[in-house]
Structures are given as C-alpha cells and as structure tokens.
Structure 1
Amino acid sequence: MSITAESRIPRILEQAPDFEAKSTHGVIKLSDYTSQGKYVMLFSHPSDFTPVCTTEFIAFAERQADWDRLNVQPIGISIDSVFSHIAWVRDMEQMGGAKIKFPLVADLDFKVSMAYGLVHEAVSDTAAVRAVFAIDPKGKIRAIIYYPPQLGRSVDELVRVFEAIQTADKNGVSTGADWQPGDQVIVPSPGTVADAEKRVNSTGDGLQVQSWYLTKKTL
C-alpha cells in the first residue's frame, strides 16, 4: 500500500487531527497545547541535517520572542528518529547560537504525516514536504501553507499570519494584502441594500469608505 493512500490534507476551519507522539521534549499531544489556550504552528521538514531545513530552524529559534508574545507553540515534525533530532538540535544550537526551545516530533510510523497529508509521493515516498498548519486554541485549522523542498520559509510571513489571525479573532475584522500590525483593517461588508446605502453615507464614525463593500478603519 502507498504510504499516502489513506492520507488527506485537513481543510481550513476543520478540527486539527490530534496526535500523541515522541519528541525531543518527550511524549507530547497537540491538545495539550491548545487546551492551554495556545495557538500552534505545526510545521514539517523533509529531513534532519539538510541545509535549507537548518537555516529555517535557526531562524525559527531566533524568533522565539515573537512566538512567546503571540502565545504560539511551534512544533516541528519529520520522519526522523528522536536521536537524530537531538543530534541535529545540538548541532544547530552550536552553529546558530540560538536555543531551540520547541519540540521536534519523531514521526517514524507516519501517523502524523498521514493525518496532515505531509508526504507527497511525487516529491518523495518517505520525506515530508515543507508544510505549515496554523491552529487556534479551539483546535481549528486557520491557515495551511505548503512549500517545495527547495524553498525555505519566510519567518516574517509566518509571524504575520498569526498576528493577522489573532487581530481578526479579537476584533471581528479582516486584514488586507500585505497587512502589518498597525495598518488599517477591513470591516465586514453590509448584508443588505439599506445597510450598503447607510455605509456609503456614513460620516464621523472613523470609517474610511472606499466602496460600500470595501471599508477600512484604524484599530
């Protein structure tokens, strides 16, 4: 049977598949973090001791202050052993000078990889692709990003994803293209003709009305 025969990529706003697995921090469960009110950044990499992955993990470690500020728990995963993970973490900490404080899951039995659709056979029968799942404290998947093996991830963009999700959750708004914290946000569009007319004629309420369906405000 193909490794990915029973694999399926979860969809946005579906419940993230829970799992219990061995890691560099011992046995961990996804729900242990979400039940504490944390957001989770679950990210996979093709293999330990590879150059692109090494640059990513050092970059993730250097941004630990951002993960702490945003209450985000990073969890790495690949189909490598715990001993391989430990050796690689120690090597990266010496190389990059930043402590890797997040766990790396050893998915030797492919259970997590199959649950999240991480092994794409056109790329490799065994190595996970680069994927990121942003999961909220309710255990819902809020964003999914996949990368080819040759493309390293932008940590700035991943921080922005969690900034935007949390801003939307807290304020009931959306964020536009290239949004950064402090930029204006987009308010929900009117649902009736009467409300659309009211929107375009609104004044003095702090709204920047570009159209009845595109209106911004400063938080």
Structure 2
Amino acid sequence: MSLRIGDIAPDFTQDSSVGPINFHEWAGDSWVIFYSHPADYTPVCTTELGRTALLQQEFEKRGTKVLALSVDPVDSHHGWIEDINETQQCVVDFPIIADADKSVAKLYDMLHPNASETVTVRAVFFIDPNKKVRATITYPPSTGRNFAEILRVLDSLQLTDSHKVATPVDWQDGDDVVILPSLTDEAELKQRFPKGYKAIKPYLRITPQPDK
C-alpha cells in the first residue's frame, strides 16, 4: 500500500554506504528528504546525487538530513560514489541505502511494475521530525528531479508549520503568503502579522512572509 501525506514513515533497518542504518534512530529530530534512484552507474542518477552533495549546506540550514536508496548492493554504492565525486566535483557523504533485497523499496512503494519491474522510480518523501510524511513527489526513471523545487517545498512546509499561513502558486522564499481562512481573531492577526495584510476576499488575505 502506498504511503499518503500524514502517514508515519515506516521504520526499517538496512545496510548503507556508511553502515547499517535504523531509519527512525538515524533521523532523530531532523527533517528528512528520503529519495530513491533507479540504479548505480547510470547517468541521470549520477547527476542527482552529485547535486544533492553540492546542496548539503542548504539542507543543513533547514535542519534536514538526506537519505538516498537504490536496490544495488553496498559495494556497488562505494564504487559509484567515487565516480560521482569525480564527475560532479563533489563529496558524497550522505548515506545511500543498499536495498539489495528490495525490502525498503517495497515498504515505501518505490517499485512501480508498469515503469520497471527491477528498479525503483524516482520517489521523494518529505518527512518531518515527528516521522510524518508531509509531501511526496514521484518522477519516472528518465526524468531527473528539480532540486530547487525540493528545497522550495521544504521551505514551504517549514514555514507553514511555524506560522498560520499557506504558500500560493509559484511561491518562492521571501514572497508574500496567504493567511489561513481558519484564523479570524483580529487581535491574533495583528500579533502574528504586524506588517498587515490585504484582504482581496474574506478567504484570500495576502501578507508579507512573516519570518522575513
């Protein structure tokens, strides 16, 4: 059964490029981006893991750990990481799950038989510190992910957790946001949004991003 937004991300213990990982213990109280790639020694995956390594500081700024997975064995990961570091001019130091028995891929529904019966699709899970799945994105094996979008979604989730706002279409960090319709108390509105807001409709109230 596929995981849905709001579900608890299943725990697991599996080997990885940095040794055995118990997922919930490893995640701790951090946000986690957990994603699958179809196979080691493939071109699109090489660029994706390289980009992840180059963005490590961005993920760290957001209190987020990154975990990758494919159904290759751990010795394959070790050899491939050398290629990634060489070709993408980076240092891959985040874990890559070696899911050779496909147990984690099945647990997270990363195997889509109509796309491939042998490798995982490009699934992305946004998991919060309470181990809840907060968002998912799934790409086919042939399409590389947009990591700017992954960071954008992560920023949106973290912002909306800390303020009673939602992020509108095409929102980027620093843009105006919308106030949740459930927030109606005028005193609370003034306290939360001292810069004020524009009410286009009773349900559509625009305000500057609160944490900027």
Give the TM-score of the pair, scaled to structure 1. Answer: 0.88
Identity %: 36
Aligned to 2:40: 48
Q: What amino acid maps onto 1:67 in structure 2?
A: F
Aligned to 1:14: 7
Q: Deviations over 1:117-152 (max 9, x none)?
A: 000111111100000000000000000100011110
Aligned to 1:111: 103
Q: Deviations over 1:166-212 (max 9, x none)?
A: 00111121111111111111111148xxx59x8xxx9x970111111
Residues 38 and 141 in structure 2, CA contact (< 8 A), matched pair in contact too: yes
Q: What amino acid maps onto 2:83 in structure 1?
A: D
SS in 1 for 2:199: strand
- Using a 3 Å threshold, how does the CA distance of structure 1 residues 185 and 33 change in structure 2: closer, same or farther? farther
Q: What amino acid maps onto 1:215 in structure 2?
A: R
Aligned to 2:121: 129
SS in 2 for 1:216: strand
Does residue 186 in structure 1 map to residue 169 in structure 2?
Answer: no
Aligned to 2:85: 93
Mapped partners of 1:47, 1:96: distance in 2: 17
Give the TM-score of the pair, scaled to structure 2. Answer: 0.91
Q: CA RMSD in A?
A: 1.7
Counterparts of residues 1-219 of structure 1 (less than 5 Å): 8-35=1-28, 37-190=29-182, 206-218=196-208, 219=210
SS in 1 for 2:153: helix
SS in 2 for 1:189: coil
Compare 93-102 and 72-81 and name the one that shifted more. 93-102
Mapped partners of 1:184, 1:16: distance in 2: 31
SS in 2 for 1:123: coil
Residues 133 and 144 in structure 1, CA contact (< 8 A), matched pair in contact too: yes
Residues 24 and 105 in structure 1, CA contact (< 8 A), matched pair in contact too: yes
What is the aligned length?
203
Q: Which has the larger radius of gyration?
A: 1
Write out the 4+ residue segments of structure 1 that deviate beyond 2 Å after TM superposition.
none
Structure 1 unaligned residues grouped into runs of 5+: 1-7
